[in-house]
Chains A and B, each alone.
Chain A
C-alpha cells in the first residue's frame, strides 16, 4: 500500500528523505529513488517530461507492489503570494498542450488551494494569478493513468514572486522551504493512507487451505477467492470448514455450497 512522492530537485528531496527516514534504492536505477515500507520517493529532474517519465519508471519497476497514491512536492512561483506560502493545487494547466487537469481534493486541505500553470521554461513575469511550475502537468498526466484521481495531489511552496525573482533562489532556500512544511506533506499523506483503507480489497482467508484440499481451475479459483471474501464479510464468526463442507468431493460442489450459504444469509441490522 505504497504512496509515491515525486520531486524535481535533490534539494526538494532531502527534507522528505530525512522526515520519512527513506533509504536509497540499491542497484542502478535511472532516477534516484528512496524508500521505506510505505513511501517511495523519486527525483525526476526539472521539467514535465522528466516528471512524467519518473512516474512511469517508478510504477514500472514496482509493478508487483500496490501503488495507491502519488504526490508531487516542489517549489513554484506566484505573482503576489509571499515566499514560503504552502499550496495544494486544485487545477493544473499545461501551457504548451493547452490541456487541464483537476486534482480531486476530497479531504480538508491543510493549506490554501490554487491553480497551477506548468510551463516549459521558467516564468518570471507571472502573467496570471496562478502558481507557475515546470512539473505538475507531466506528473499528473501519468499518475492519473495509474491510480485513482482522488489519490493524486500536488503540493507546492512558493519560492519566488514579483519581488523575489527565481534567479536568486539557492538550493539551501529550496531545502528550507520544503522542510518548513513537512508537516503539511505528512497530513496529505496521512489522508491518503486513510483513503487506502477504504478502497483496499478484503482479505481472502483460508484460500491456501482450500487450494490444498480440492483442485480448482484458474476460473474456479477466482470464484473461490470472491466467495471467501464474501464469507469473511457476512459471517466471519461462523465455522467455514464445517463437516458438511469437508464432505464435498469436487471443487464445483464446494463452490456451490459456499454460494448457497452466502446468498441465503440475511443481513444483520
Chain B
C-alpha cells in the first residue's frame, strides 16, 4: 500500500498510528473521505491497480435493513459496513459498478456502529451481515474488526453476526473461544471458475482448508454459492463441486444460492469501466436487473444438488 489517506480528525487515533507504522505508506491528510473516494470521473478499474487505504469516520446511518428475501433464517436482518472494497479482484464483483473507487475505506468509529447495532436488538433473533461491501476478514490485520466485534456479539446472543469471506485470515478465530451466534460464511465457486473469475482471491483449496479448520474448532459455517456463473459444462462443474463441499461441511448453518445479477445502473457503470468483460456481455435485461438468460435453469439445477432445508435463494 503506497498511500494512506486519513481524515484530519483521525490523525491521532491509535489505529491510524498503528496502521501507518505497519504500512509505511505516504500519509496524506484529508478533510472527508469523499474528497478521495468515489469522486466524479474516478475509474474503479484503474484505481484497482494500486488501491490506497482511507481511514475515515462514518457519519449518518450506520446499520441498514435488508429485504426479507436475503435472510439466512432470522426474521430481522441488517447489514453494516465498517469497510468498503476488498483486496481481491473478482471479475463479477458488484462493487466495480457501485463505486467509482477501488480504494479501501476503513471506518474507525466502531463504538458508534456497535451502539446502532445495539439499538436494533430485540428478544427475537436478528442477523447482522458484515461483508456486503468488502470481505469481512481479508483486511483484518489493519482493521482489528474481530478484536472489537467478537466480544460485542458474544455479549448479545440474540444477535447473529455473519462474517462473509474468501480469506484464509483465520488465525484470530482459531485462537479464540467459539461464539455460537457468529457464522463464518465462505463464498465458494468450483475450482476452474474460482481460478478464472476470482482473481487475487485464495484458491478453492485454500478456502476449504480454512473452513475445515474453523469447523473443527467448532465455529458455525455458512456456504455462499453466489454468484453462480454460466460457463460451458456448468452442470458438471457445480455438481462435483457441491458434492465435494458437502462432504466436507456436513451440517452447514445455511446455504445461499444466487446467479450473477446486477441492478441496471450498477451494470452500466461496470460496463463503462470494464468494456471488455465477457461476463457482462452475456447478460440480458430483466426489468431493472441484468442477469443471465439461463438464470432459472441454473438455479433449478443447483437446488437439486443441495439440501433443501438449508438453502436460501437470493434472486
B192 — which chain A residues lie within 8 A by C-beta? 269
Cβ of B196 < 8 Å from any Cβ of A?
A: yes
Q: State in angstroms the CA–CA spacing of A85 and B154 once bound together.
A: 55
Q: State in angstroms the CA–CA spacing of A233 and B282 once bound together.
A: 10
Contact check, B41 vs A105: say whether CB atoms are below 8 A apart.
no
Contact check, B293 vs A233: say whether CB atoms are below 8 A apart.
no
Nearest first, the 7 closest Cβ-Cβ pairs linking A and B are A150-B46, A230-B281, A263-B293, A148-B43, A106-B49, A106-B50, A266-B232
Question: Which of these binds chain B: A4-12, A38-46, A193-201?
Answer: A193-201
Scan residues 230-269 of chain A and give those whose CB is less than 8 A from a CB of chain B: 230, 233-234, 259, 262-269
Q: State in angstroms the CA–CA spacing of A115 and B292 once bound together.
A: 47
Interchain residue pairs with CB less than 8 A apart (9):
A104-B46, A107-B49, A150-B42, A202-B275, A263-B283, A263-B284, A263-B293, A264-B294, A266-B233
A→B interface (CB under 8 Å): 90-91, 100, 102, 104-109, 113, 115, 144-145, 147-151, 195, 198-202, 229-230, 233-234, 259, 262-269
Contact check, A267 vs B26: say whether CB atoms are below 8 A apart.
no
Scan residues 189-216 of chain B and give those whose CB is less than 8 A from a CB of chain A: 192-193, 196
Nearest-CB residue, chain A, relative to B273: A199
B43 — which chain A residues lie within 8 A by C-beta? 148-150, 199
A233 — which chain B residues lie within 8 A by C-beta? 276-278, 281
Scan residues 49-89 of chain B and give those whose CB is less than 8 A from a CB of chain A: 49-50
B223 — which chain A residues lie within 8 A by C-beta? none
Given A113-B26, A268-B232, A105 and B50 contact (CB-CB distance below 8 Å): yes
A265 — which chain B residues lie within 8 A by C-beta? 282
B88 to chain A, nearest CB (A): 17
Per DSSP, chain A at the interface is mixed
Contact partner, B28, options A102, A106, A145, Cβ 8 Å? A102
Contact partner, A269, options B2, B193, B282, B292, Cβ 8 Å? B193
Given A105-B3, A145-B41, A202-B276, A267 and B231 contact (CB-CB distance below 8 Å): yes
Given A102-B28, A267-B282, A269-B193, A150 and B47 contact (CB-CB distance below 8 Å): yes
Scan residues 22-37 of chain B and give those whose CB is less than 8 A from a CB of chain A: 26, 28, 30-31, 35-36
B174 to chain A, nearest CB (A): 33
Q: State in angstroms the CA–CA spacing of A113 and B49 once bound together.
A: 18
Given A113-B26, A199-B273, A267-B230, A147 and B3 contact (CB-CB distance below 8 Å): no
Cβ of B253 < 8 Å from any Cβ of A?
A: no
Given A102-B36, A150-B47, A265-B282, A91 and B41 contact (CB-CB distance below 8 Å): no
Q: State in angstroms the CA–CA spacing of A259 and B293 once bound together.
A: 10
B47 — which chain A residues lie within 8 A by C-beta? 104, 106, 150
B282 — which chain A residues lie within 8 A by C-beta? 230, 234, 262-263, 265-267
Contact check, A201 vs B275: say whether CB atoms are below 8 A apart.
yes
Cβ of B302 < 8 Å from any Cβ of A?
A: no
A263 — which chain B residues lie within 8 A by C-beta? 282-284, 292-293
A109 — which chain B residues lie within 8 A by C-beta? 2
Contact check, A91 vs B28: say whether CB atoms are below 8 A apart.
yes
A238 to chain B, nearest CB (A): 14
Contact check, A148 vs B276: say whether CB atoms are below 8 A apart.
no
Given A105-B2, A150-B43, A195-B46, A100 and B234 contact (CB-CB distance below 8 Å): no
Q: State in angstroms the CA–CA spacing of A168 and B156 once bound together.
A: 70
Nearest-CB residue, chain A, relative to B229: A267
B276 — which chain A residues lie within 8 A by C-beta? 202, 233
Contact check, B35 vs A100: say whether CB atoms are below 8 A apart.
yes
A195 — which chain B residues lie within 8 A by C-beta? 46, 49
Contact partner, A104, options B42, B229, B233, B234, Cβ 8 Å? B42
Q: State in angstroms the CA–CA spacing of A269 and B36 once bound together.
A: 36
B231 — which chain A residues lie within 8 A by C-beta? 266-269
B292 to chain A, nearest CB (A): 8
A264 — which chain B residues lie within 8 A by C-beta? 293-294
Cβ of B267 < 8 Å from any Cβ of A?
A: no
Q: State in angstroms the CA–CA spacing of A234 and B279 once bound together.
A: 9
Given pairs A90-B3, A105-B50, A264-B293, 14 additional interface contacts (CB within 8 A): A102-B5, A105-B2, A106-B49, A148-B46, A198-B46, A200-B275, A201-B275, A234-B278, A262-B282, A266-B282, A266-B294, A267-B229, A268-B231, A269-B232
B41 — which chain A residues lie within 8 A by C-beta? 144-145, 147-149
Contact check, B42 vs A102: say whether CB atoms are below 8 A apart.
no
A220 to chain B, nearest CB (A): 16
Given A149-B41, A199-B45, A262 and B281 contact (CB-CB distance below 8 Å): yes
Q: State in angstroms the CA–CA spacing of A269 and B50 once bound together.
A: 27
B3 — which chain A residues lie within 8 A by C-beta? 90, 105
A204 to chain B, nearest CB (A): 11
Q: State in angstroms the CA–CA spacing of A100 and B39 once bound together.
A: 13
A102 — which chain B residues lie within 8 A by C-beta? 5, 28, 30, 35-36
A209 to chain B, nearest CB (A): 20
A87 to chain B, nearest CB (A): 12
Given A147-B41, A150-B42, A150-B46, A259 and B284 contact (CB-CB distance below 8 Å): yes
